[in-house]
Structure 1
Amino acid sequence: MDRFTINDLTPERFWERQPTVLEQHWLAEIAELSPEPFVLRAQLQGDHEPTIEPILGRDVEGWRANRYIGEIRHNGRTLAIRPRLGIETITGWISTILNVQVLPRAATHSKDTSSVVTQLLAALWRASVLTAGQHALPRTPDRVASHGMSVHGRLDVAGTARRRAAGHRDLVSTQVVRSYNNAPANAVVLADRYFDQRLAGSRWRGNRLDEHMAVLRTATGSRPKLPTLHEIRTARYSPITAKWRRAAELSWQILNADPLGVAADDESTHGVLIDVAELWELFVLHCAGLATDQPVTHGTTGHSSGHLARSTVDPSRTMGKLYPDILIGDSPVSALLDAKYKRLGGMGGVDRGDLYQLHAYSSSFEAPIAALVYPETDSGPPLEERNSPWHSRAGALSFLTLPTERARCVAKLASWLEHSAQAAIQPPTCRSASLKGTVLATEQD
């Protein structure tokens, strides 16, 4: 099968090879596909509807992948989208977000590009299972009946009466037995087998997951029957095992779609995508929580939203709901962050839409300081960051590139919060650039 490999958010002119005419038409077909059926989110998103962007976009520099990494198989060819920041960076974000080590170090250094998606999928799945198993394994109650001369559990009066009527002298009783042989455990065991076949020899589980799976395989066997999604959702969960539903649903989705290989030769369209922009947002959220003692709110959960306009006739009527990613402080908001998984800098400067979005957020929430935050690159701070903060009537606006490693990201956010708060209360000097200048520069580029 033909395989075409690119990096996310990388223009066509920087690809390892240029697509042929037939591949150009094939990429155009992929660009028309909705990414929704292929995106695995592992229940990481907020309560509002997640942002949906096309898998591929096209501009003056040609094709480029958007916010997703993964594989799409379409009409006999495979498009593989690798993370431009490297698999270690992405798995590090997942580890930070869920506070678990998602891939042992031995599994992160494979040079086989086809295994990158496998490892990232395994990372999401492993994080989901380890998070679910922090307090208990997916043990569910099962009512078991028995008969004899002694009662085990509770006496079944109706059952005993039927036995006596049939000429037997024993007693019927029922007891609740908690078992690991259930729908969520079956799905998890099968998903573990699925990844183990594709990551053989990489010691990808780690000690803790090995212990969990040994217990579950003893109860279910190594090849249990795949449960239906309805069986997983209707299984009985206690408050401490409720997270196993998420792990089981993710397992079922992976097994049902089989994105890593069964139908590789047919002409159908299937695959798997991971929303890296969502992971970057949640990574920044976690780092912000460590960078300050103030309350930190995930604005995209739907519980903290603002509005672009409010009616003077009926104040309950609003227009233009706003969902910034991260709010720091509570009544009033002291700082606001919006994560952008893209490059900052270049000939175009700050994207005009992003600039207006940040200004609207700052104005609506009356945040004295606000920032768009981007992943850091090796080229150093771009001009927009070196000239930050930018004063506007809404407040002090900054454009930051943050390190992709947790400790350094936390340190830079803490420093920004301290220095920007001081700059926000000082009038702009002759060296300070204005928001109007930024808009004009963007429009001229």
Structure 2
Amino acid sequence: MAAAKGRASGPETTNDRFEITDLTSEAYWDRRPTEDEHRWLEAIAKLSPEPYVLNAQLEADHEPAIEPILTRDLDGWRANRYIGEIRYQGRTLVIKPRLDVETIMSWISTILNVQVLPRTAARSTDTTSVVTQLLAALWRASVLTAGQHALPRAGEKVSSHGLAVRGRLDVAATARRRATGHRELVSTRVVRTYDNAPARAVVLADRYFDQRLVGANWRGARLDEQLAAMRTATGARPQIPTLHEIRTARYSPITIKWRRAAELSWRILNRDPLGVAADSESTHGILIDVAELWELFVLHCVGLATDQVVRHGTTTRTAGHLARSAVDPHRTKGRLYPDVVVGEDPIMAVIDAKYKRLGGRRGVDREDLYQLHAYSSTFEAPVAALTYPAITDEIPPDEHFSPWQTSSGALSFLTLPTEKAACVAKLTQWIGLSHTSF
């Protein structure tokens, strides 16, 4: 992605913005695309979303699935697992969340155990503000997590000249000065400072959001206090650091999380879709992978719902194999990584989170059904489940008739509440019933 940015000269017109909702087919969009817009959507569908996705920063070892931004089938165009903005070829694609913004923010709060939106913050229904608020929530969570124990203080070596030693005597430098007729001693000391690459990136990202969330008390007291110390150190006009400077800065085991927060800040500053003209020669955008957020939210709720060991299969690389060679047992085929594994020796349950609808004429997707059955048989888990966000109070037939017995175990299809306490309660009930039944 090119670094050059073209600044917008004025507000976009309605025709410049195409607004859709995530995981919603074309038939349910507010308006149908024109032929010209169809060609533009085809170009969007060919873009790799990977350069624009930001919330992989939540877990450094987690490699989320990369799916196209848009796909097209018999029902027309359909947005996939991302929300955000992409500015491309003179237009802006806005993908809004089908769930309310506060719900997604609450997932982030649960995942990182921090309050990402102060209770006094102003709410906004403006489309651009929705994207900005979600970005601010991700960024705020990352900074608060990094600053749980210390600010990004780094050591800077400072040299002093004088008749007294301040710190450690620099013998070589002192000898060179004495050779030129000077009597001063040269000494060096390490000064701890917040004026460093990670702090500058965070301070500049804070300014970015402050300019776009005018009138909203979006930081909270704790973040205000931390940023005040960093602003004082970095000065009124800090220069944006390079990504190399952020990655090569010195971090201690206590401050290492500031690297992730600084990298996220740098990416937000360099992928700014709100300050780049849609007709810029470069493609700019920021996407949030909501499916990944749902997966991590379910993982944390499962951890609260049971006293069994709970592992994130895609992070811990808890793998199973569909087939193993009878000639060479070390050769395998079909490696599987379930989202959530409950228990060990033996495994009690496997769970896969699906950020999609359960219900309608299709019910459970055939591919998802086969995937869950493969998890159940491969991991020899007595119970396995696909978990979907509950959009309505209606219980879909696939869930109503769960569990579904197979030759290797029982399969359940669950719609989980999107609020933490209710989600934990339903999972606790399901896990309890599963243990008593099998």
Contact 1:56 1:63 in 2 (8 A): yes
Q: Is the partner of 2:356 in helix, strand or coil?
A: coil
Pairing 1:197–2:211 present:
yes
Contact 2:21 2:98 in 1 (8 A): yes
Amino acid at match of 1:85: L
Contact 2:83 2:290 in 1 (8 A): yes
1:24-63 matched pairs, under 5 angstroms? 24-45=38-59, 47=61, 49-63=63-77
| Deviation digits for residues 90-136 of structure 1 (CA, Å, limit 9, x no counterpart) | 11101110011112234462021111111111111111111000000
Q: Is the partner of 1:239 in helix, strand or coil?
A: coil
Q: Could you say if the C-alpha distance between residues 317 and 123 of structure 1 is closer, same or farther in structure 2, counting changes exceeding 3 Å? A: same
Distance 2:62 2:230 in 1: 34
| Range 166-175 or range 294-303, more displaced | 166-175
1:188-227 matched pairs, under 5 angstroms? 188-227=202-241
Distance 1:260 1:368 in 2: 49
- TM-score, normalization by structure 1: 0.93
Contact 2:198 2:258 in 1 (8 A): yes
Pairing 1:303–2:317 present:
yes
What's the offset of the Cα at 1:267? Answer: 4.8
Amino acid at match of 1:325: D
What's the offset of the Cα at 1:167? Answer: 2.1
What's the offset of the Cα at 1:343? Answer: 0.3
Partner of 2:335: 321
Q: Is the partner of 2:157 in helix, strand or coil?
A: strand
Contact 2:45 2:71 in 1 (8 A): yes
Pairing 1:175–2:207 present:
no
Contact 1:307 1:319 in 2 (8 A): yes
Amino acid at match of 2:403: P
Pairing 1:125–2:139 present:
yes
Partner of 2:422: 408
Pairing 1:388–2:399 present:
no
Q: Could you list the runs of 5+ residues in structure 1 that have no partner in the other structure? A: 426-445
Contact 2:351 2:384 in 1 (8 A): yes
Partner of 1:357: 371
Partner of 1:440: none
Partner of 2:198: 184
1:249-268 matched pairs, under 5 angstroms? 249-268=263-282
Amino acid at match of 2:414: L
Amino acid at match of 2:20: I
Distance 2:33 2:313 in 1: 40
Amino acid at match of 1:351: D
Q: Could you say if the C-alpha distance between residues 105 and 16 of structure 1 is closer, same or farther in structure 2, counting changes exceeding 3 Å? A: farther
What's the offset of the Cα at 1:75? Answer: 1.1
Distance 1:47 1:309 in 2: 27
| Range 35-44 or range 185-194, more displaced | 35-44
Amino acid at match of 1:89: T
Q: Is the partner of 1:5 in helix, strand or coil?
A: strand
Q: 2:380 aligns with which of 366, 373, 381?
A: 366
Partner of 1:443: none
Partner of 1:399: 413
What's the offset of the Cα at 1:20? Answer: 2.0
| Deviation digits for residues 418-445 of structure 1 (CA, Å, limit 9, x no counterpart) | 112223x3xxxxxxxxxxxxxxxxxxxx
Q: Is the partner of 2:387 in helix, strand or coil?
A: strand
Distance 1:132 1:223 in 2: 23
| Deviation digits for residues 324-365 of structure 1 (CA, Å, limit 9, x no counterpart) | 000000111001100000000110111000000000001111
Partner of 1:237: 251
Q: 1:139 aligns with which of 136, 141, 153?
A: 153
| Deviation digits for residues 15-42 of structure 1 (CA, Å, limit 9, x no counterpart) | 1222222222221221121111111124
Pairing 1:82–2:80 present:
no
1:325-340 matched pairs, under 5 angstroms? 325-340=339-354
Q: Is the partner of 2:127 in helix, strand or coil?
A: coil
Amino acid at match of 1:382: P
Contact 1:180 1:219 in 2 (8 A): yes
Distance 1:221 1:118 in 2: 25
| Range 301-310 or range 409-418, more displaced | 301-310
Question: Stretches of 4+ moved more than 4 A in 1?
Answer: none
Contact 2:56 2:63 in 1 (8 A): no
What's the offset of the Cα at 1:71? Answer: 0.6
Amino acid at match of 1:368: P
Distance 1:40 1:342 in 2: 21
Distance 1:34 1:148 in 2: 59
Amino acid at match of 2:80: N
| Range 231-240 or range 149-158, more displaced | 149-158
Corresponding residue pairs, total: 424
Partner of 1:293: 307
What's the offset of the Cα at 1:79? Answer: 0.9
Q: Could you list the runs of 5+ residues in structure 2 that have no partner in the other structure? A: 1-11
Contact 1:143 1:174 in 2 (8 A): yes
Amino acid at match of 1:81: I
| Deviation digits for residues 231-289 of structure 1 (CA, Å, limit 9, x no counterpart) | 11110000000000001111111111222223334254221111000000000000000
Contact 2:88 2:279 in 1 (8 A): no
Pairing 1:149–2:160 present:
no
Contact 1:107 1:119 in 2 (8 A): no
Pairing 1:15–2:33 present:
no
Distance 2:271 2:388 in 1: 33
What's the offset of the Cα at 1:223? Answer: 2.2
Distance 2:26 2:329 in 1: 49
| Range 180-189 or range 106-115, more displaced | 106-115
Distance 1:132 1:48 in 2: 18
